[in-house]
Amino acid sequence: MSFRKGDRKLYCKLVDATIHHYGWVKDPRTQTEKRKAFEKLWHDDNWMEENIKDESVFNYSSIDSVKKFTGNHPAVIADRIKKTNWTFEFDPTLSSKLPLKKRLLNWFYQTTGIHIGEFKNYQIR
């Protein structure tokens, strides 16, 4: 959470809720277009030509800590999931290629729920 009110941290309440983030649930071609639009905000045309090819398709294997969701999707997204016309492909061995420090931090977080060194812009009340 990165919101602030002036220089003060926000006061937040811890709730027992699951948040399903579907911002990356897109056809790889659509995700590529999203990435291009984002990169254009920060880079010039030369950088875009060298780094983002028109024929490229987003590779979800470049994300370092993804696992396949095997639960039930919320009703609000279920229809969209049924209509997908692409197959999610991910190489789970990718996470073993992360630097040891990041693998240990990921393991610690997944085990304890604690982010070591995390910046917290809020206070729980």
- Domain membership of residue 3 (yes or no) is no
The residue segments making up the domain with residue 55 are 10-124
- Domain membership of residue 75 (yes or no) is yes
- Domain membership of residue 72 (yes or no) is yes
Reported as a single tens digit per residue, the pLDDT across 15-38 is 998 887 787 778 888 888 888 899
- Domain membership of residue 22 (yes or no) is yes
pTM of the model: 0.56
What does the pLDDT read at residue 46? 93
Number of domains making up the chain: 1
SS (H, E, C) 50-111: HHCCCCCCCCHHHCCCCCCCCCCCCHHHHHHHHCCCCCCCCCHHHHHHCCHHHHHHHHHHHH
- Domain membership of residue 5 (yes or no) is no
What does the pLDDT read at residue 106? 85
